[in-house]
Amino acid sequence: MTTTAQPPARERAPAWSAAAMMTPAAIVVTIGIVLPIVILFRYSLNRYTPAKVMVDAFTIENYVKFLTDPFYIAVLLRTIRVAALCTAICVALAFPMAYCLARTRSRFKNLLLMAVILPLFVGNAVRAAGWMVLFGNKGFVNALLMGLGVTRAPLEIMYTELAVVIGIIAVNLPFVVLTLQAVLEGIDRPVEEAALGLGASPLRTFRHVILPLAMPGVIAGTILSFILAMNAYATPVLLGGPTFQMMGPTVYNQFAGLSNWPFGAALAFVLMTATLVLTVASNWLAHRGYRR
């Protein structure tokens, strides 16, 4: 006598229970994200007057101002350049780290993982403050370089693009490492061993076996790092200083410094749209390349 295995009736989740589980999160998202975005978009169509800050209107002049002003276009392009550079370096640095973490059988694996997570315990601003101590004219880096006789005069590191790129990489790296490590853990070791056993070199194994299988992690890590870098605030302000301007601080400056809420809202929307479009485009390109 054979019996057909049927899942017990209690295990089948009714549709209403799924809806019940999603409702609280949906409410939080609606109130906490969607509603402010809608309000912000409405603000971006208002008009700015210094005395009243915002006058109700229905104009696209704030967007026109952005698109026709070379200064703001330059700020956006600089932000995209820095975000792309930081993301590329993060992925390049994170992959070997994540691979080692995923493959190690050391009893210190948990400690190594903690070492990756540890920087996330400290806020961005505090970490940037640490970099400020290192990068100053009389900071550790310059003292070391001058002490070793590498340079005669202190290098200008603070308030430069280099300082911002280093700071953002330091913030984003743990996120990318953890994302990649989770995916690499899921790739069976015998798959690599089979490729090596069939005569593939380690580089070929990486290119044709590991990388394609790890691609979902690479894409996720890239997206995460790119979004974080595009919207970076504390690091550009503290390490970039007054002359290195990125979109995050520029948006804030319009709201808090100039009280120009309509233009600040328009800038926020431009930043959000640019991030979204570039993320979707890079995701699409990566998937296309991956399928080939």
Partner 1 sequence: MEQRSRDVTRRRLLKAAGALAGVSAIGGWSPARAQGANRVVLGTWGGDYSKLLAKNIDTPLMVPRKYEVVHDIGGDAERRAKMRAEARLPRGTSDLQGLSAAQMFEMNEAGLCLPVDYAKIANAQYLLPQMKYPYGVGHIYSGKVILYNPKLIATPPTSFADALDPKHGAKLGIIDIQYQFTMMAAAIASGGSMTDYEPGKARLMACRKAGAKILPTNEAMAQALTNEEVGICIMWKARAVQWQKAGAKVETVAPKEGIPLYISGFVIPKNAPNKDGAHVWLNEMLQPSAQEAFAEDMGYNASVINAKIPLETEKRIGFNADERKRLIDLDYGYLAKNDAAFKEWWDKTFKG
Binding residues for partner 1, per CB under 8 A?
48, 50-53, 69, 71, 74, 136-138, 237, 241-243, 245, 253, 255-260
Unique residue bearing structure tokens 């054979």:
2
**Residue placing its CB nearer to partner 1 in the complex, 52 or 208:** 52
Q: Minimum Å distance from CB 30 to partner 1?
A: 21
Q: Minimum Å distance from CB 91 to partner 1?
A: 31
**Residue placing its CB nearer to partner 1 in the complex, 74 or 126:** 74
Q: Minimum Å distance from CB 57 to partner 1?
A: 17
Q: Minimum Å distance from CB 184 to partner 1?
A: 41
**Residue placing its CB nearer to partner 1 in the complex, 216 or 241:** 241
**Residue placing its CB nearer to partner 1 in the complex, 159 or 206:** 159
Q: Minimum Å distance from CB 49 to partner 1?
A: 10
Q: Contact, 135 vs 203, CB < 8 A?
A: no
Q: Contact, 259 vs 53, CB < 8 A?
A: yes
**Residue placing its CB nearer to partner 1 in the complex, 219 or 251:** 251
**Residue placing its CB nearer to partner 1 in the complex, 164 or 223:** 164
Cα separation values, 194 from 81, 102, 197, Å: 40, 18, 5
**Residue placing its CB nearer to partner 1 in the complex, 201 or 259:** 259
Q: Minimum Å distance from CB 129 to partner 1?
A: 12
Q: Minimum Å distance from CB 274 to partner 1?
A: 20
3-class secondary structure per residue, the chain: CCCCCCCCHHHCCCHHHHHHHHHHHHHHHHHHHHHHHHHHHHHHCCECCCCCCCECCCCCHHHHHHHHCHHHHHHHHHHHHHHHHHHHHHHHHHHHHHHHHHHCCCCCHHHHHHHHHHHHHCCHHHHHHHHHHHHCCCCHHHHHHHHCCCCCCCCCCCCCHHHHHHHHHHHHHHHHHHHHHHHHHCCCHHHHHHHHHCCCCHHHHHHHHHHHHHHHHHHHHHHHHHHHHHCCCHHHHHHHCCCCCCHHHHHHHHHHHCCCHHHHHHHHHHHHHHHHHHHHHHHHHHHHHHHC
